[in-house]
């Protein structure tokens, strides 16, 4: 019995270490590239560890001098924060009441399948009508227009995620509050949402990641730094005739920091939200 317990523990630790290596290695190599000199990056055989540390690329990307690579990068960072922030907030404002309605009223449950079907549509299928709509409204190359486009992606996604969270909140609690005279808005805001907070945080985090990494619509509907987001800006760094792979790696590291920080801050809520409803008492 003791042998089996030791073997089980060893297997679990080995699996955890392997998983950690798989997850951390790409990010670690990206960081090593960002601080390696061009000679180290082009050496044959490849230098896995740089002979000298070069942090100048981070200085370049964080420099606000006019018409510099840093000014373009910081502008795209601001655009990403604005566009994704507006889209995530809008998706939650739409998704919370929609998901609650579907969860509590089975007769409208068919609408969740329409939402999922909308989310599954390929981006290229919607590109022409969205482009024409933004053009008619004068919202091309505009952060508000791009946020509206992202909302069409994130609203069905968050509605689908939030429904399972509301399913885990007992209806009897809401019925008891209604008998005590609570209004519907009071029940939703003061009772149901706090109980479903892990699911809401999980939906918001996943929506943030989907919006933060979106590339196709951002490339199609923007043309300059007034609205271009980080994925487009990082891609443009790789589009020159003389490609600085270290600069691209540094941009990737900086672009990954905001969602990583939010993910670490919400990790407990994320775990709780993913496991909510998995066990019934």
Quick: pLDDT tens for 218-265: 999 998 889 999 999 998 887 665 678 889 999 999 999 998 888 888
Q: What percent of the chain has pLDDT above 90?
A: 35
pLDDT the model gives residue 232: 93
Ramachandran assignment for 52, one of left (phi > 0), alpha (psi -120 to 50 degrees), beta (any other): beta
Q: Is 126 exposed, middle or buried (0-12, 13-18, 19+ CB in 10 A)?
A: middle
Structure tokens belonging to residue 273: 């939200």
Q: What mean pLDDT, rounded, does the chain reach?
A: 86
Q: How far apart are CA 75 and CA 95, in angstroms?
A: 29
pLDDT the model gives residue 68: 81
Quick: pLDDT tens for 82-96: 999 999 999 999 999
pLDDT the model gives residue 2: 63
Where along the chain do its domains lie? 1-54, 65-275
pLDDT at 137 over 90: yes
Q: How far apart are CA 266 and CA 205, in angstroms?
A: 8
| HSE of 266, CA atoms in CB hemisphere, 13 A | 21
User: SS3 helix, strand, coil % of the chain, rounded to 5?
Assistant: 75, 0, 25
Q: Which CATH class is domain 65-275?
A: mainly alpha
CA distances from 198 to 116, 188, 267, 273, 277 (A): 21, 15, 10, 4, 11
pLDDT at 202 over 90: no
- Alpha-carbon Rg for the chain, nearest whole angstrom, is 23
pLDDT tier, 278 (very low <50, low <70, confident <90, very high otherwise): very low
């Amino acid at each position: 019995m003791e042998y089996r317990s030791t073997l089980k523990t060893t297997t679990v630790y080995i699996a955890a270490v392997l998983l950690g290596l798989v997850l951390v290695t790409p990010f670690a190599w990206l960081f090593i590239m960002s601080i390696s000199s061009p000679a180290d990056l082009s050496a044959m055989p490849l230098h896995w560890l740089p002979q000298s540390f070069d942090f100048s690329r981070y200085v370049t990307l964080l420099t606000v001098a006019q018409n510099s690579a840093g000014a373009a990068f910081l502008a795209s960072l601001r655009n990403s924060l604005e566009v994704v922030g507006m889209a995530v907030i809008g998706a939650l404002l739409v998704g919370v009441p929609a998901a609650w309605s579907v969860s509590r009223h089975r007769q409208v449950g068919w609408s969740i399948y329409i939402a999922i079907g909308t989310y599954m549509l390929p981006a290229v299928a919607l590109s022409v009508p969205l482009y024409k709509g933004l053009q008619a409204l004068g919202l091309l190359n505009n952060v508000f227009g791009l946020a509206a486009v992202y909302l069409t992606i994130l609203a069905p996604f968050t509605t689908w995620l939030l429904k399972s969270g509301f399913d885990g909140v007992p209806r009897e609690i809401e019925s008891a509050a209604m008998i005590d005279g609570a209004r519907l808005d009071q029940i939703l805001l003061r009772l149901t949402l706090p109980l479903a907070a892990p699911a809401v945080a999980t939906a918001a985090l996943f929506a943030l990641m989907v919006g933060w990494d979106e590339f196709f619509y951002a490339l199609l509907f923007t043309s300059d730094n007034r609205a271009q987001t980080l994925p487009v800006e990082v891609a443009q760094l790789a589009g020159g005739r003389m490609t600085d792979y270290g600069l691209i790696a540094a941009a990737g590291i900086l672009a990954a920091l905001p969602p990583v920080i939010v993910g670490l801050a919400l990790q407990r809520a994320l775990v709780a939200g993913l496991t909510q409803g998995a066990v019934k008492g």
